[in-house]
Amino acid sequence: MKPAFILSLALLASNGSAHYIFQTLIAGSKTSKLAVRVPGENSPVKNYTSVDITCNVNISNATETVSVSAGSVVGFELGEGKRIYHPGPITMYLGKAPGKAAHWNGTGKAWFKIAEWGATFSPFGFETLNKNVFTANIPSDIPSGEYLVRMEQIALHIPGSPEFFVGCAQIKITGGGSGSPTKVSIPGYLTYQDPELLVDIYWPIPTEYTVPGPPVYRARKSPRDFFW
């Protein structure tokens, strides 16, 4: 083998440093890096039954909690010109803090999914690939209060060994309602060895794909549902 080839193999084996991180919170018309609990390194979490999956490991203590009104946009941008390059779905969850978001580590049955980005077919692929911004609307009827917003990519490039890229940020939702989403705990939200986590995306090429985790919660009534 030529040295250049060996070198590129070595780089492939250690490409952890090249990974993406959900680094900037987008909330309404604001963006914030200080509201994000940034992981100390950008290697993926592999054990989705451990507490590492909640908000990643070795995370910074975010120093800001961003106010945003129910119904507005929330989401993340990847850092440093990065784009998603591993195939796999992306999901966004909200977790209701018992008090201040800054004082809560995400433990307990407090989470619900508010958005997901899944597969496309013919040709098979994932709509997340090459994107760097993911936003959704906060359901307009959820209770006001402090929450963690959690973004997760489940990278499926190694069949049978899903890798999780996870980020959390602190928000304070105002102007909410009395909706009561069904909540799950994280970990605990994924079925251990869910076939959608272990799928071989290369062969046979999937013809259907369900994003893992609970269904997306949608506001029961938005102002636009009222027609007289």
Ligand X SMILES: *[C@@H]1O[C@H](CO)[C@@H](O)[C@H](O)[C@H]1NC(C)=O
103 in contact with ligand X (CB under 6 A): no
Instruction: Single out the residue of 8, 15, 47, 180 in contact with ligand X (rule: CB under 6 A).
Output: 47
Question: Is residue 41 within the footprint of ligand X (CB under 6 A)?
Answer: yes
In the complex, what is the shortest distance from the CB of residue 161 to ligand X, in angstroms, rounded to a whole number?
Answer: 11
Among 31, 105, 132, 137, binds ligand X (CB under 6 A): 105
191 sits near ligand X (criterion: CB under 6 A): no
Asked if 161 is part of the footprint of ligand X (rule: CB under 6 A), the reply reads no
Window of 56-64, 74-82, 115-123, 212-220 that interacts with ligand X by CB under 6 A: 56-64
| 34 part of the interface to ligand X, by CB under 6 A | no
Q: How many residues bind ligand X (CB under 6 A)?
A: 13
The residue among 145, 144, 164 whose CA lies nearest residue 154 is: 164
Does 61 bind ligand X (CB under 6 A)? Our answer is: yes
Pick between residue 91 and residue 128 the one whose CB is nearest to ligand X. Answer: 91
Q: Does 40 bind ligand X (CB under 6 A)?
A: yes
Nearest to 55 by CA among 140, 143, 165: 165
Q: How far is the CB of 140 from ligand X (least distance, A)?
A: 29
Q: Contact between 8 and ligand X (CB under 6 A)?
A: no
Secondary structure of the chain as H, E, C letters = CCHHHHHHHHHHHCHHHHCCCEEEEEECCEEECCCEECECCCCCECCCCCCHHHHCCCECCCCCCEEEECCCEEEEEECCCCCCCCCCCEEEEEEECCCCHHHCCCCCEEEEEEEEECEECCCCEECCCCCCEEEEECCCCCCCEEEEEEEEEEECCCCCCCEEEEEEEEEEEECCCCCCCCCEECCCCCCCCCHHHHCCCCCCCCCCCCCCCCCECCCCCCHHHCCC
- Cα separations (Å) of 212 from 165, 195, 196? 14, 9, 6
Site for ligand X in 208-227 (CB under 6 A): none
In the complex, least distance from residue 119 CB atom to ligand X, rounded to whole angstroms = 27
One residue of 8, 63, 67, 107 binding ligand X per CB under 6 A? 107
Strand partners of residue 137: 73
Instruction: Provide the residue type at 99 as one letter.
Output: G
- Scanning 23-31, 42-50, 80-88, 148-156 for contacts with ligand X by CB under 6 A, the matching segment is 42-50
Residue 51 binds ligand X, judged by CB under 6 A: yes
Q: Kindly state whether residue 15 participates in binding ligand X, applying the rule CB under 6 A.
A: no
Residues in contact with ligand X by the rule CB under 6 A: 40-41, 47, 49-51, 54, 58, 60-61, 105-107
